[in-house]
Structure 1
């Protein structure tokens, strides 16, 4: 039975995720359009976006989409780019460990950068307010909303993409970085806590310049930030 509290938390999750659509919509349209221009059908595009649900690796896969299809290269690149989800999932362990698997698996499937950031930020706020730190209905609502918008925009993009030409020239690419900065701002505590993020960014940028056409910069940047946090962290 769905309680009134569950309904309220679900609605709150939907409401909080709606502003994120400013980044999801244009990127979904661009990805769908690029997939269509690469020869992928609308169904293939929607299946890719719905089953993978990880924007960065999907853009990489579409960029590598040629004939014959380099399956091993696409799988390797996807795994490398999505490796950050291992750390994101680890951060969720304190909030999910008490849940049954039938709830954990959907939560992890819906875990993308945006839903993860919203879930972690909300958990911190609830903890400070003396409430149970993690609201499962809230988090699931954010994930489902983002998933539906993502796949829907991919469908539209794949449908009309062949008629648009080079959609990257429309300037939509700035929307997602802008939304990501807003998410980071919502998680901000102080400069000291942000140092691992900064180190990850700098190291990843340098690795990207030194290792072009490679996804290793994701892993290298992540490990650099973790190493700093481990060795320079305190016990607070």
Structure 2
């Protein structure tokens, strides 16, 4: 990488390097759409939800909790707790974004998801080590363009054809999303000590799932993970 690379070439590189993740994510977007369609959501409603709330985990939670009457408080709580990880993700990017104007920072944070965040952060760390301006906005925009457009469009497609299918969970596509997250986690692995909040979150969520009805295991696991990360972070 050199200083002579153009924004267009960096944008294209971001799209290319992000594209292999679509192998795992596109089936998952279709599953989200199909499940929403089977719950009565139209393709337009699915498109609006995935476009305005670009966070797959909370979207699945909202669809799975969809019922009549609508549990608004539970859906709002679960959505907030799942998306609260974006606070920590944004904080990790903040040192690389501090010199950028707000009109660029805000769109960058809006389009941030787990995959674009991980790739943008890795790119920033690599550039910093090379003595280059840390945050590569064209590269990051390329990753966001691929993830955002494909996720929203394929989810809408799934909602459109959803009523034509039976239970798609039986197809086994459910492993695609966890597989992508495991790959991302492997790239950010810094040892077992740094992973303790993940373990606390997992155990808390599992205990809550086995002992309480509903989806309260989601906010319980998220809150436990955040608190443990804060506690161990303060002790360093």
Q: TM-score, normalised by structure 2?
A: 0.89
Which range moves more in the overlay, 93-102 or 66-75?
A: 66-75
Aligned to 2:25: 24
Give per-residue Cα distances to partners, 1:191-221, cap 9 Å, x unaligned. 5544454444444444554555212211212
**1:45/1:158 contact within 8 Å kept:** yes
**2:202/2:221 contact within 8 Å kept:** no
Shift of residue 36 of structure 1? 0.3
Shift of residue 122 of structure 1? 1.5
Superposed CA RMSD:
2.0
Shift of residue 19 of structure 1? 1.3
Q: Does 1:60 align with 2:64?
A: no
Aligned to 1:121: 122
Kindly tell me: are residues 201 and 225 of structure 1, through their superposed partners in 2, closer, same or farther at Cα, counting changes over 3 Å? farther
**1:196/1:229 contact within 8 Å kept:** no
Whole-Å separation in 2 of the counterparts to 1:65 and 1:199: 28
**1:200/1:225 contact within 8 Å kept:** no
Kindly tell me: are residues 201 and 124 of structure 1, through their superposed partners in 2, closer, same or farther at Cα, counting changes over 3 Å? farther
Aligned to 1:222: 226
Give per-residue Cα distances to partners, 1:45-83, cap 9 Å, x unaligned. 110111111111111111121223232332222112111
Kindly tell me: are residues 12 and 207 of structure 1, through their superposed partners in 2, closer, same or farther at Cα, counting changes over 3 Å? farther
Aligned to 1:169: 170
Whole-Å separation in 1 of the counterparts to 2:153 and 2:179: 21
Flag structure 1 segments of 5+ consecutive residues without an equivalent.
none
Kindly tell me: are residues 196 and 217 of structure 1, through their superposed partners in 2, closer, same or farther at Cα, counting changes over 3 Å? closer
Give per-residue Cα distances to partners, 1:137-193, cap 9 Å, x unaligned. 111221121011101110221111111110111100101111111111222344554
Flag structure 2 segments of 5+ consecutive residues without an equivalent.
none
Report SS of the residue matched to 1:68: coil
Q: How does 1:1-236 map to 2 (within 5 A)?
A: 5-212=6-213, 213-214=215-216, 215-231=219-235, 233=236
Kindly tell me: are residues 27 and 7 of structure 1, through their superposed partners in 2, closer, same or farther at Cα, counting changes over 3 Å? same
Whole-Å separation in 2 of the counterparts to 1:122 and 1:205: 34
Report SS of the residue matched to 2:41: coil
- The alignment covers a number of residue pairs equal to 230
